[in-house]
Chain A
């Protein structure tokens, strides 16, 4: 319950000077100041990855990647909205992977760049969710898909890491691939399978 949050702060968003209460997010501040904003607005809850912004705070030269619906405005902040990048060039279908012994081989065919990581840390730095992206790529490269996928639980596919990667690895898609093969090959719940069997045999009916 800080009272200061209602104090107006001055900042620039897409080079427009804006004054707005400090309790507002970047998108809300833009609307509050009377500017339109349609593109780059999505769930407004931090899970869709649409509102990608680059931010420099008053006391720092460092550029940070954030989500505009999540970040509260601060005095002297400079904000630029980034357009959403084109989709990745990597394509694959899970059905093409015949069985779980072949996943690692297939992975390197689909994501040949994953082995080329320079460990520049660009992906880690750009992730607004604080995911250990680089480590995830390394684990996936070694075929440790379960572990790699676990690191990407909170990934919203904002594609910041994809933009940041000089080797065009598309780390978020590596993470999602890791998660998908884990489900596709290894999630086999016996309670679900038993229920499917009962349905198949017609043991369960509905009386309306």
Chain B
């Protein structure tokens, strides 16, 4: 791995230039992905042996938790408190907040339980912007076509069509919650291009779109009378006699006890899996992104899809080490930043789809044209000084977060390029849903990154912030209507007995327990503060 160009040599050879020749690389996406994308790494995939997706291909690390034993036993719940609500929302990111807000405004009693605090999520870090077709030369059809193409045609078409048609109304709704967007002197929304799109379509607020969205949604939610349970990770769903979802088991990090929440509908908005660090990659994800919702939904019998497809964002910071994995928004490339290898050459269309660009970066590094810091750290340049040279002042006016990151690195992005390397960013697949966010299990809704289908096997920039609001609002409204007047049902953990039976029949190891809740380096399982909540064994 030490065959790259040493960092100091590469930096010494670098000078900012107004223009550099585009890459004439014609490698087909398919070939590039097969050779260099982590999804195609030999031995990283396996076949699921139990559950609704038995026989499907799945990443090994994800399969281990999907086919793990439950964290809780019947006995753990014996003395547990029981609480009733119309709707339980699990997860306090953008999708969860939107669903909770909408359900409450439609008359439902809502509890929102979140593993950490309200707003601790990937939403707050998704700074690039939201896709929606508002420009004259753009249409929802073009947005749809780009989404399908970007997802390599594995997209659930009706979901994508509905989402892009929702786009303009999503922006209007966000403005009505008090979210700001960058506008021109006439007050029109400014747009920028996203990788893999045919028109400028990403609307944004500086490079703080997700932060602006999250603080506004949180403020709106806390003023709506919704009960928020922070530091309350959900560890299991509850089923009723018909096998429908009828609530959840929520644990409290504050008093180390379990609560049974009886709910007429549960909306899972638990996000993705970045903190599983698939294939040993760093991640841009929030600390809590450990795939809990996938595991709980799978045990309830919900069908999942595309479990072999993950997004590695091209521009994760590679150096310095303590910030490795930190995301640099694609907006910087939208603004015209080149990617340069250790020789100072462009090697890919910087605004290609994310999987293509990430694979191209990995190729440069594999083939010795990367920049090598030490044994384990390597990458390519993100040519920020070039952008500044072409548009003086743009970094300060459009990318304050990037400059803040530069200060932490001790690197001024206006003067020196940043070293980047792909970072595990997004779970493309997930729970199968319909247009209202309903999973294949009655009473169980799933929204946001925990779902699959909307983005196929590769998501475009800005389509995630769109999907969380679009589907969050639909699920919240649909669930509130559905639960109206319906009684609570008896709850049990019967589906866990079935899980254990299946695991035993398949001769699967039972040592592994899930959901993960926290990455192992947080040492949750050995932290005496949480003695009551440790795994049953």
Contact = CB atoms under 8 A, between A and B. Distances in A.
Contacts of A35: 523
Contacts of A189: 134, 181, 183, 187-189
Contacts of B121: 43
Contacts of A34: 523
Given A187-B183, A189-B189, A39 B322 contact: no
A196 B286 contact: no
Contacts, number: 176
Nearest to B517: A38
A204 interface: yes
Given A173-B219, A183-B175, A207 B189 contact: no
Contact of A206 (B144, B231, B530): B144
A32 to B, nearest CB: 9
Contacts of A204: 139-141, 165
5 contacts: A182-B180, A191-B134, A192-B188, A204-B139, A206-B165
B253 interface: yes
Contacts of B186: 190
B215 interface: yes
B187 A42 contact: no
Contacts of B524: 36, 38
A196 B172 contact: yes
Contact of B116 (A50, A70, A199): A50
Contacts of A199: 140, 165, 168-169
B168 A196 contact: yes
A180 B527 contact: no
A31 B216 CA distance: 32
B223 interface: yes
A92 B222 CA distance: 10
A153 B321 contact: no
Most chain A beta carbons < 10 A, residue from B322, B521, B523, B524: B322
Most chain A beta carbons < 10 A, residue from B7, B189, B215: B215
B141 A207 contact: yes
Contact of B161 (A24, A173, A208): A208
Category for how many chain B residues contact A:
35 or more
A49 B206 CA distance: 19
A25 B168 contact: no
Contacts of B406: none
A92 to B, nearest CB: 6
Contacts of B187: 187-190
A157 interface: yes
A39 B526 CA distance: 14
A154 B322 contact: no
Interface string B320-341: 1110001100000000000000
Interface string B151-173: 00000011001001100110110
Nearest to B210: A47
Interface string B117-130: 10111001101000
Most chain B beta carbons < 10 A, residue from A72, A84, A176, A189: A189
Contacts of A24: 322
A45 B327 contact: yes
A40 B193 CA distance: 36
Interface string B197-227: 0000000001010111001101110111000
Contacts of B135: 191
Contacts of A201: none
Interface in A10-67: 23-25, 28, 31, 34-39, 41-48, 50
B320 A23 contact: yes
A181 interface: yes
A27 to B, nearest CB: 9
B522 A176 contact: no
B140 A43 contact: no
Interface in B229-288: 231, 253, 286-288
B8 interface: yes
A129 to B, nearest CB: 8
A208 to B, nearest CB: 5
B287 A41 contact: yes
Interface in B503-537: 518, 521-524, 526-527, 529-530
Contact of B169 (A188, A196, A207): A196
Shortest 5 CB-CB contacts between residues of A and residues of B: A180-B178, A36-B523, A36-B527, A206-B161, A189-B189
A156 interface: yes
B211 A156 contact: yes
Interface in A154-208: 154-157, 173, 176, 179-184, 187-192, 195-196, 199, 204-208
B176 interface: yes
B522 A31 contact: yes
B211 A47 contact: yes
A149 B219 CA distance: 15
Contacts of A23: 320-322
Contacts of A93: 223-224
Contacts of A182: 180
B133 interface: yes
Contacts of B125: 43, 45, 47-48
Given A187-B180, A206-B165, A48 B120 contact: yes
Contacts of A195: 133-134, 168
B530 A38 contact: yes
A5 interface: yes
A43 B93 CA distance: 11
A181 B127 CA distance: 22
Contacts of A179: 178, 180, 212, 216
Most chain A beta carbons < 10 A, residue from B133, B180, B216, B220: B180
A206 B171 contact: no
Contact of B157 (A41, A155, A157, A208): A208
B441 interface: no
Contacts of B124: 43, 47-48
A1 B208 contact: no
Nearest to B116: A42
Interface string B44-82: 000000000000000000000000000000000000000
A120 interface: no
